[in-house]
Amino acid sequence: MAYRSGLDIKKRIINALKKGPQVISEMERKVDTSDRVIKRHVAELEYLGIVKTVRYEKSKKNGRPYSVVKLV
């Protein structure tokens, strides 16, 4: 992975979300960066009112909690 600016990562996140709501792990592959970085930038975008994160307690597949991010 090459270094990308925070602005570039946020642009990639928004472009991925234009196709519909995404789970963090899906965005991790599409944006080509770690989940920790995705979560940090999503938190900033959420603070600015650009995206909304919906947290679910259990996944039907594995029973683990997960979050879905979507554009506002």
Domain boundaries, the chain: 6-71
1 has a pLDDT exceeding 60: no
How many Å apart are CA 1 and CA 52, to the nearest integer? Answer: 27
Architecture per CATH, 6-71 = Orthogonal Bundle (1.10)
Mean pLDDT of 39-60: 95
SS3 for the chain is CCCCCHHHHHHHHHHHHCCCCEEHHHHHHHHCCCHHHHHHHHHHHHHCCCEEEEEECCCCCCCCCEEEEEEC
pTM of the full structure: 0.86
Q: pLDDT tens for residues 21-43?
A: 999 989 999 999 999 999 999 99
Parallel, antiparallel, or unpaired for β 22-23 and 51-56?
Answer: unpaired
For residue 51, what pLDDT is reported?
A: 97
- Residue at token pair 């029973």: 63
Q: What is the pLDDT of residue 3?
A: 80
